[in-house]
Amino acid sequence: MTRFNIPTRDEVSENNQALFDKLQGMVGMVPNLFAYYTHSENALGEILALQNRKTTLSNKEKEVINLVTSQVNGCRYCQSAHTALGKMNGFSDDQILEIRGGSASFDSKLDALAQFTKSWVEHRGRASEATTEALFNAGYTQESLVDIVIVVADKMISNFIHNLTQFEIDFPVAPELEEIHA
């Protein structure tokens, strides 16, 4: 079986060491996913720039997209990381589980976003007419749609990296939805 290693600070370039230091200061750790990106010299900086770009979406909206996308793609690492981030953004445990399932009955705008994201990701870029219409009726615009696509694309990169490598999850592991509904 192929082993995928997580580079340490001492094993990365000075540029990436500076990014490690920044992450350490911001979140108190360098998540394994971000450390893994440093196997490519510029990937971590580019991913961080993409994640921190100006957008029409709030942090809560981005977390809805991240949670739904990670659930659809079966990425346990990102489900766990975004469960922690979802809590930091004010979602309860029950709300996070509902969002991961593709809905948000507690907020009509977030519900439209969750349902659209689930439909769009499940159907490989072809959302249903109903969820697309509901998204726009909830107040999202074509500008928002572009921002949604960018957040999904970023999350799919992370999902696919972890689904391939299966390196250790360094967040509290999120429960499987099947465990909750069983």
Q: What is the CATH number of the domain that holds 45?
A: 1.20.5
Residue 2 in any domain: the answer is no
User: pLDDT tens for residues 30-74?
Assistant: 999 999 999 999 999 999 999 999 999 999 999 999 999 999 999
Residue 93 and residue 136 in one domain: yes
The answer to whether residue 182 scores a pLDDT higher than 60 is: no
Domain count, the chain: 2
What are 86-112's pLDDT values in tens digits?
A: 999 999 999 999 999 999 999 999 999
Q: Read off the DSSP letter of residue 125.
A: T
Asked whether residue 3 is domain-assigned, the answer is no
Average pLDDT over residues 116-131: 96
- The answer on 29 and 111 residing in a single domain is no
Report the pLDDT value the prediction gives residue 77, as an integer from 0 to 100. Answer: 98
pLDDT for residue 122: 97
Are 75 and 161 in a shared domain?
Answer: yes
Provide the residue range defining the domain that includes 69: 59-181
State if pTM tops 0.85.
Answer: yes
Q: What number of CA atoms fall less than 13 Å from residue 43's CA on the CB side?
A: 14
